[in-house]
């Protein structure tokens, strides 16, 4: 028997980032009584938090922006091909203000717990400020990279200078002039920070555990004329993004790797290396992702480009990855990153040889040497994909904890639903199509699908939705199987759930975090599920006694 309850909201969306902003727009348009709870002091998600110097898109700006409003597309002028964080945050604020979405958002509202009340078929939420809320549907827009991780090293708190994770880079201006700065990490974030600050600091020391493959961003301004041209092409641009696996304009080279000569391959790479964005990664031959020999050849090509750019051959070799090939994990894009190591004020410390022993009051002690610093920057990455879920006490049917269910990796249906966690939707969740693509393209797809799903539930008088165990198992097996053909499974990166800073992510243990089938296949599969009346999801009317007055906006 379900019990009569007055719901606070029909839908609660968690997170006011790219996903949450669009999700609340869709819900508001439908007159659904909904709110967004955001832990931060304002909207913007990743673009609110990541304020480190050099933070910018690796997607072409005009493919990153929302596509849902022609008016918005007409109005917004992207100033750079790969726009920087301040502009990106301005854009998201512009969208929220244009569509009057702030009225639905509550800031400084950290969700601590979400428990499914089976008897009433509702979610009971507890916010960090002590408030309790109820809703029928809970939509998670909490991001894939929103829980930063710090190294497990002694003494971090003892440092007397300033230190922070890149995710927490100070919002107020930070004067780096003449400062001795350490950056720990050489991932996509570090590569942007290092290149941006090298000529602004006194001394820069980079602590590298493993190098990352990286290729030039080749950014540039977008003139009024170019923007007008882009606006005229928006339909075509989004159509191209929709048919490419990565959701970008970059289309894979359909010629077989072995069908063209080595000279032709090199000519292609010479061109792509000097072009903007992910071309060198995504306009490449498909074999580089699956075939060891093809991957070795492109890796050697990129290594050679690095050798040409770094004067000291010893340093150059240290910057070339040896444990994985080019492109088997998301490729960081850089702007004169490798040239940084030709500067007199920059030093690379290989902590695979001389590990960090501890952080001291004045700096960093490695097994070999003590370094004094004014500022230590931790560019040490995230508890990716499932981390943001693990940090909330989410309990489903029978009090099952999501973090227990996902201890060895996520299992979902379509990356959007979880068995035993009814009415919890993830437009861009683990194992969904958006994780391995141009995020906003995947997010719009996910939000549209989830919104249509809610409309279906309403129009059919259903209010309880839970994927079957079989559907979840089949999807998870499908996602898992796709890794078996990808060289990606051999790389230690957040794509494969390897993160030594996260409890239980011991070395070599693969977690099947992302759907690797590409955007068109994903979109076709989720469309098929919808066409088949949401086959795989058990739909019912469990709460026919819920107070109908509470459901109106």
What is the smallest separation between the CB atom of 47 and ligand NAP, expressed in angstroms?
10
Stretch that binds ligand NAP, among 104-112, 188-196, 242-250, 401-409 (CB under 6 A): 188-196
* Site for ligand NAP contains 53 (CB under 6 A): no
Per rule CB under 6 A, is residue 185 in the interface with ligand NAP?
A: yes
Site for ligand NAP (CB under 6 A): which residue of 44, 187, 245, 429?
Answer: 187
Segment interacting with ligand NAP, rule: CB under 6 A, options 237-245, 251-259, 379-387, 390-398: 379-387
Tell me which stretch binds ligand NAP (CB under 6 A): 30-38, 222-230, 376-384, 535-543.
Answer: 376-384
Cβ of residue 190: shortest distance to ligand NAP, in angstroms?
6
Q: Cβ atoms within 10 A of the Cβ of 100, count?
A: 10
Q: How far is the CB of 210 from ligand NAP (least distance, A)?
A: 4
CB 136 within 8 A of CB 70: no
* CA–CA distance, 326 with 146 (Å, rounded to integer): 26
Residue 142 burial (C-beta neighbours within 10 Å; 0-12, 13-18, 19+): buried
Give the residue at shortest CB distance from ligand NAP: 187
330 part of the interface to ligand NAP, by CB under 6 A:
yes
Sign of dihedral through CA atoms 441, 445, 446, 448?
positive
- Examine residue 205 and tell whether it contacts ligand NAP (CB under 6 A): no
Does 186 engage in binding with ligand NAP (CB under 6 A)?
Answer: yes
Site for ligand NAP in 460-519 (CB under 6 A): 494, 501
Q: Closest distance between ligand NAP and the C-beta of residue 165, in Å?
A: 9
Distance CA 378, CA 183 (A): 6
Q: Which sign, positive or negative, has the C-alpha torsion 220, 221, 226, 227?
A: positive
Nearest C-alpha neighbor of 513 from the set 486, 492, 494, 534:
494
Please tell me whether residue 381 binds ligand NAP under the rule CB under 6 A.
yes
Pairing of strands 333-334, 111-117: unpaired
Instruction: Please list, in sequence order, all residues whose beta carbon lies within 8 angstroms of the beta carbon of residue 110, skipping any fewer than 6 positions away.
Output: 37, 39, 127, 128
Residue 516 near residue 483, CB atoms below 8 Å: yes
189 binds ligand NAP (CB under 6 A): yes
Residue 401 phi, psi (nearest 5): -90, 130
The single residue listed with the structure tokens 């690797």 is 516
Candidates 89-97, 374-382, 481-489, 539-547 — which segment interacts with ligand NAP by CB under 6 A? 374-382
Neighbours of 403 (CB within 10 A): 14
Q: Given candidates 184, 288, 482, 488, which one binds ligand NAP under the rule CB under 6 A?
A: 184
Number of residues that bind ligand NAP (CB under 6 A): 23
Partnered with residue 154 across adjacent β-strands are 358
In terms of DSSP H, where are the helices of 99-173? none
Minimum gap (Å) between residue 187 Cβ and ligand NAP: 2
Q: Tell me: does residue 58 bind ligand NAP (CB under 6 A).
A: yes
Nearer to ligand NAP, 145 or 310 (CB): 145
Selected binder of ligand NAP within 15, 45, 151, 396 (CB under 6 A): 151
Structure tokens at 175: 């004067």
Helix axes 519-531, 439-459, angle to 10 degrees: 0
57 lies in the site for ligand NAP, by CB under 6 A: yes
350 near ligand NAP, judged by CB under 6 A: no
The H or E element that residue 539 is part of is: strand 537-540
Footprint of ligand NAP on this chain (CB under 6 A)? Answer: 57-58, 145, 151, 184-190, 192, 209-210, 330, 333, 351, 379-382, 494, 501
């Amino acid at each position: 028997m379900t019990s009569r309850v007055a719901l606070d909201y029909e839908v609660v969306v968690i997170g006011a980032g790219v996903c949450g902003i669009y999700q609340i727009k869709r819900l508001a348009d439908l007159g659904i009584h909904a709110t967004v709870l955001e832990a931060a002091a304002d909207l913007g998600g990743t673009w609110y938090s990541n304020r480190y110097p050099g933070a910018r898109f690796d997607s072409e700006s005009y493919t990153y922006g929302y596509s849902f409003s022609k008016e918005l597309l007409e109005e917004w002028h992207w100033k750079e091909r790969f726009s920087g964080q301040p502009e990106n945050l301005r854009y998201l604020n512009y969208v929220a203000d244009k569509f009057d979405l702030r009225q639905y958002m509550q800031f400084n509202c950290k969700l601590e717990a979400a428990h499914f009340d089976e008897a009433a078929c509702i979610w009971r939420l507890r916010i960090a400020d002590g408030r309790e809320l109820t809703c029928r549907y809970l939509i998670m827009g909490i991001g894939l990279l929103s829980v930063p991780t710090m190294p497990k090293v002694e003494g971090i708190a003892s440092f007397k200078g300033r230190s922070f994770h890149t995710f927490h880079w100070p919002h107020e201006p930070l004067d780096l002039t003449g400062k001795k700065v350490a950056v720990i990490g050489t991932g996509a974030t570090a590569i942007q920070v290092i290149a941006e600050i090298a000529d602004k600091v006194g001394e820069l020391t980079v602590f590298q555990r493993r190098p990352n493959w990286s290729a030039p961003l080749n950014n540039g301004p977008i003139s009024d004329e170019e923007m007008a041209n882009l606006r005229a092409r928006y339909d075509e641009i989004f159509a191209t993004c929709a048919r490419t696996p990565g959701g970008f304009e970059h289309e894979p080279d359909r010629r077989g790797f072995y069908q063209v000569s080595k000279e032709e391959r090199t000519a292609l790479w010479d061109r792509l290396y000097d072009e903007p964005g992910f071309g060198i990664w995504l306009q490449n031959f498909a074999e580089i992702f699956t075939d060891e020999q093809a991957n070795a050849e492109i890796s050697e090509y990129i290594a050679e480009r690095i050798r040409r750019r770094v004067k000291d051959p010893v340093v150059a070799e240290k910057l070339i990855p040896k444990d994985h090939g080019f492109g088997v994990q998301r490729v960081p894009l850089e702007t004169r990153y490798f040239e940084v190591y030709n500067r007199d004020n920059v030093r690379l410390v290989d902590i695979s040889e001389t590990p960090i022993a501890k952080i001291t009051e004045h700096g960093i002690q490695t097994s070999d040497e003590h370094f004094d610093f004014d500022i230590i920057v931790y560019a040490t990455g995230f508890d990716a994909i499932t981390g943001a879920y693990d940090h909330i006490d989410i309990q489903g049917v029978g009090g099952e904890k999501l973090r227990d269910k996902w201890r060895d990796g996520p299992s979902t249906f379509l990356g959007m639903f979880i068995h035993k966690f009814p009415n919890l939707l993830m437009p861009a969740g683990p194992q969904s199509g958006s994780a391995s693509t141009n995020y906003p393209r995947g997010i719009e797809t996910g939000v549209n699908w989830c919104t249509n799903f809610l409309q279906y539930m309403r129009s059919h008088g259903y209010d309880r939705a839970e994927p079957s165990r079989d559907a979840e198992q089949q999807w998870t097996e499908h996602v898992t199987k796709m890794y078996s053909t990808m060289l990606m499974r051999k790389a230690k990166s957040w794509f494969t759930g390897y993160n030594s800073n996260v409890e239980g992510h011991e070395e070599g243990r693969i977690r099947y975090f992302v759907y690797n089938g590409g955007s068109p296949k994903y979109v076709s599969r989720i469309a098929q599920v919808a066409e088949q009346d949401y086959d795989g999801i058990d739909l019912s009317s469990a709460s026919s006694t819920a107070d109908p007055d509470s459901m109106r906006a």
